[in-house]
Amino acid sequence: MAEIELKTAPADFRFPTTNQTRHCFTRYIEYHRCVAAKGDEVGDCQKFAKYYRSLCPGEWVEKWNEQRESGTFPGPL
């Protein structure tokens, strides 16, 4: 069985405090912008997916996904 290596997002100078809420939201937006620009199949976007998945609570991601589908997402995509 292959070993699973757990990693979190690297430090980002734009988010110097311990509260990572803004970092989470920004990484989520970066991922979806990347997918919109390059498509789902591009591996370049996967790093952003890993980052937001490691930073964001699942409930937030579910809510944001619902908001994107309904056209009510508050962020700039």
Q: How far apart are CA 31 and CA 40, in angstroms?
A: 10
Q: How far apart are CA 61 and CA 77, in angstroms?
A: 15
The pTM of the full predicted model, rounded to 2 decimals, is 0.75
CA atoms within 13 A on the CB side of 15: 15
H helix count then E strand count, the chain:
3, 0
pLDDT tens-digit map of 12-53: 777 666 678 888 999 999 999 999 999 877 788 888 899 999
| Between 70 and 12, the higher pLDDT residue | 70
Report the greatest alpha carbon distance in the chain. 42
